[in-house]
Amino acid sequence: MRKKLNVSNENNGISILALDDDPVMTLTLQAYFQNAGYNVDTSNDPEAAVELVRQGHYDILLLDFLMTPICGDQVVERIRQFNKELYIILLTGHKSMAPPIKTIRALDIQGYYEKSDRFDQLELLVESCVKSIKQMRIIRLQNDELTEANGKLNESYLELIRILRLTVDARDIYTRGHSDRVSYYAERIARKMGRDDNYCNRVRVAGLFHDLGKLSVPDFALLKDSSLTDEEYALIKTHSVKGYELLSSVSVFKGVAGIVRSHHERWDGRGYPDGLKGGDIPEEARVIGVADAFDAMTSTRRYRASLGLEHAKSELLRGRWTQFDGDIVDTFMELLEDYDEMSRELEWTHEAEPLPGSEAVSEKI
């Protein structure tokens, strides 16, 4: 046999396992392909070779078809149970002894080689496998780099969310944590409604940003601890549009901008800023509206104490199909049966008792 057709002093980084129950054949294959720059291990035991593939890393397997105690196709069948990526070339003593094409395809064998005193044809088969292997390595590397880049982008995205959320919270100690709670309630509602992950993620982020526009509201209106004048309330009401404008200017947040704009719309069309009615209001905004109103009523504000859980529930029920989407209210009521558990998840509890005679201010938040 000619053993030095393509001699190379450089290692090409490709690992081959040569399997044949004839030691002379495996030694010949090893010498030939090592001279061509490959890393080559050998085995004369088919069952031991399966374990070598399982425990090590090989790119290409060269194996004889007729062996004992199991034949080459049985070896491949076992290997394919745990390794789908190994390139396999089957060696036969004669073309008539090769397995049928159907078997070769089923076992994902890349080719077969009829043994001869020349390895030219086998070398071409191996080189064809190597080209595919190197292309796959490039693709994997590109995918890894893309995954890393996406991970960094996602980290920046989450950091931006955190910074903006904390900036809004910093305006008023009485609303600190409000956006987190609205986001939590809204996502729980969305999941209870059976919405998909993308929808739930939009609702979660919209909940965090629903009051972003309050950054543009003057302190004399936002931080006032007594009743608002009509002019001051009008300033407060601009926050949904301002939030929409801010989020629309950032490409990654455009998907939630419309939700933020519409979270104060009412089912009966008496909300703001656009007077949308019923199903014309984005469903995600309707979800945020229920979660927002509930947290506004159950948390302590600058101008009043918490209205309490039961009062808030009664106000939501009273607002079904007028202020709120009634189906969303009903879904939230089911969740509120486990309100204590939700509070523990939020690591937040209500401390203030409801004040007698207090009125809901769910529209002025």
Point out the residues that are catalytic.
214
Among 43, 35, 38, residue whose Cα is nearest residue 18: 43
161 vs 168: CA distance, rounded Å: 11
Report the length, in residues, of the chain: 365
Q: Are 352 and 307 in contact (CB under 8 A)?
A: no
Burial class (CB in 10 A: 0-12, 13-18, 19+), 201: middle
Q: Are 325 and 271 in contact (CB under 8 A)?
A: no
How far is residue 241 from each of residues 181, 228, 230, measured CA to CA in Å?
22, 20, 18
| Residue 238 identity (one-letter amino acid) | T
Helix (H) or strand (E) segment spanning residue 118: none
| Strand ordering across the sheet containing 60-64 | 39-43, 15-19, 60-64, 87-92, 111-114
CB neighbourhood size of 316 (10 A): 24
Rounded CA Rg of the chain: 34
240 vs 272: CA distance, rounded Å: 8
The sign of the CA dihedral 135, 139, 145, 148 is negative
